Amino acid sequence: MPARISAALVAALVLGPIAALAWRGGGLSALGPADLEALWFTLWQAAASAALSCLCAVPVARALARRRFAGRGLLIALMGAPFLLPSVVAVMGLIAVFGRRGLVNAGLGALGLPELSLYGAQGVIVAHVFFNLPLAVRMLLHGWQAVPAERLRLAAALGFGPADIARHIERPMLRMVLPGAFLAIFLVCLTSFAVALILGGGPRATTVELAIYQAFRFDADLGRVAGLALIQVGVSVAALLLAARVTAPPAFGAGLDRSLTLPPPGGWRRLKDAAVVAAAALFLLLPLGAILARGLPGLPALPAPVWQAAGLSLALAAGATALTLALTLPLALAAPRARWAELAGTLPMAASSLVLGAGLFLIARPLVAPTALALPVTLLANALLTLPFALRLLLPEARALAADYGRLADALGMQGLGRLRYLTLPRLARPLGFAAGLSAAFSMGDLGVITLFSDGRRQTLPFALYQLMGAYRMDQAAAAACLLMALTFGLFWACDRIGQNARPD
């Protein structure tokens, strides 16, 4: 029963806004040539961002897979930081490095070379690569680690060199992993909002998400909003279906779970591996260092409204996390026996926060003032959009729990709250903690629905940071970015730590 209630709520909260947009869309008649240009830019920048992320990730993942060095584990963990980093903070860090007065342009100016511009299509793509390169590296690294040790032992026995290993082991693995990685990143870039809001704009660098925001916030053209939102949903659903179709099962066969790494070649390949790892680390970590260097001294002088916005963001993150877990846990427990539970958990991937916000606005508009919806709709959207990630984290452990303890618990008559307290929660503590940390981090850094509904008096911390940047108060913006980054990573660490400590002995 709890799983059915959860599935019904998720379906209503996702399909209801989409249905409202479809009813208001008027057959997409409100769309014009500029909207088609926004669709084209959204598609090609997402494809370019995904292709560059995967292309750059291949040599980095290969180097990390076949090299062992001091600090390797820490470096892999730190390279994942941009995935949790709030978009507005990451964009500010990129501006500090690649912007008009950034470190790169300062170096180019000293050499007498022309400056680089971070704004426009190139800036959107650079930011998306910054966010998604760590994701691509982790996915490809898992692919290398999944190659059975027996294959590597056989390759060594046959005297395979680096070229032979690339041909017979690495390229087949990449053909299995790369399409899924590309489509996952493509889908993320389709619904990116903060990056396009800050670095994009203009007729040639407007995404569908940004066009929805402009039509809603500045033009109040609800027909156009509805049409753009439906296009966004259609493209997202098509990408999801394609991703499910091209995802291939492992084709290397089963191994004996022995740990064995790729043979590390020497010579120039050693230097190349060191160079690509150093370049990737510099690209991903330098913007974070630039923010910390500029923002930390200004933390004590932040104005009171920024601290109030931080408190509001913490409250929203706590509420969204609690709602995410309350919706996800019943679905994860039911999924081993009911396919519909897993399908319900993937529904939110068909919509973005702006699509959900616009649809909920259309539903509630006759009943309540739009500004009164800012906080509850932000909380709902954040909870729904992190639900698929939380479900993916819980599903493997939930299936193992059902297989290992389900029959025994049924035989002992463990049901309801007793089963939840003594069996489910202790056994799922680790993935629950990680899912809670991920949900809290995403919710803390979201700059989506609040931009549609906020009247400026009630601000979340990302929105306050965005306004400081818009007012060119960059020192205060850097300090607010440091605060947001610290709270985001702190929430993730605390939730994950609680889950780790709550595991049964």
Q: What's residue 30's pLDDT?
A: 61
DSSP annotation of 202 reads S
Specify the higher pLDDT residue, 53 or 355: 53
DSSP string, 116-135: P--SSHHHHHHHHHHHHHHH
What are the φ/ψ torsions at residue 266 (nearest 5 degrees)? -100, -160
- Identify the CA nearest to 192 among candidates 68, 86, 336, 339: 86
From residue 435, give the alpha-carbon distance in Å to each of 13, 76, 354, 427.
21, 20, 23, 14
Mean pLDDT of the residues in the chain: 81
From residue 34, give the alpha-carbon distance in Å to each of 25, 211, 229, 451.
17, 9, 15, 22
Domain-embedded: residue 414: yes
Residue 60: both structure tokens together = 């980095």
The whole-angstrom distance between residue 328's C-alpha and the CA centroid of its chain comes to 18
472: left (phi over 0), alpha (psi -120 to 50) or beta: left
**According to the per-residue pLDDT averaged within each range, which of 9-13, 18-22, 410-414, 429-433 is highest?**
9-13
Residue 35: both structure tokens together = 């909207």
Q: What contacts 24+ positions apart, CB below 8 Å, involve 47-51?
A: 47/186, 48/125, 49/124, 49/125, 49/128, 49/129, 49/132, 49/185, 49/186, 49/189, 50/132, 50/182, 50/183, 50/185, 50/186, 50/189, 51/182
Domain-embedded: residue 436: yes
Residue 404 has pLDDT above 90, yes or no: no
From residue 432, give the alpha-carbon distance in Å to each of 153, 306, 349, 425.
38, 31, 20, 8
What are the φ/ψ torsions at residue 302 (nearest 5 degrees)? -65, 140
Specify the higher pLDDT residue, 406 or 227: 227
* 211-268 tens-digit pLDDT: 888 888 777 777 788 888 888 888 888 877 776 666 555 444 444 444 455 566 667 7
d(CA 462, CA 29): 35
What are the φ/ψ torsions at residue 324 (nearest 5 degrees)? -60, -50
84 burial via Cβ count (<10 Å: 0-12, 13-18, 19+): buried
Range of the domain at 312: 1-21+302-505
Residues 6+ apart with CB under 8 A from 383: 319, 320, 321, 323, 324, 327, 439, 443
Specify the higher pLDDT residue, 28 or 395: 395
The residue whose two tokens read 């599903």 is 395
DSSP string, 279-304: HHHHHHHHHHHHHHHHHGGGGGG--H
Reduced to 3 states (helix: H, G, I; strand: E, B; else coil), residue 438 is: helix
Q: Which helix (H) or strand (E) holds 10?
A: helix 2-25
Count of structural domains, the chain: 1
Domain-embedded: residue 4: yes
CB 26 within 8 A of CB 362: no
CB 183 within 8 A of CB 136: no
CB 266 within 8 A of CB 69: no
Percent of the chain with pLDDT over 70: 84
Residue 148: both structure tokens together = 């059975």
Domain-embedded: residue 181: no
Domain-embedded: residue 231: no
Q: What is the CATH number of the domain that holds 413?
A: 1.10.3720.10
Global model pTM greater than 0.85: no
Domain-embedded: residue 232: no
The residue whose two tokens read 């690209």 is 283
**According to the per-residue pLDDT averaged within each range, which of 24-38, 57-71, 215-229 is highest?**
57-71
Domain-embedded: residue 410: yes
Domain-embedded: residue 162: no
Confidence of residue 487 (pLDDT cuts 50, 70, 90): very high
- What is the pLDDT averaged over residues 136-150? 74
Confidence of residue 84 (pLDDT cuts 50, 70, 90): confident
d(CA 436, CA 98): 33
CB 442 within 8 A of CB 192: no
From residue 26, give the alpha-carbon distance in Å to each of 70, 217, 222, 392.
60, 20, 10, 36
Confidence of residue 45 (pLDDT cuts 50, 70, 90): very high
DSSP annotation of 266 reads -
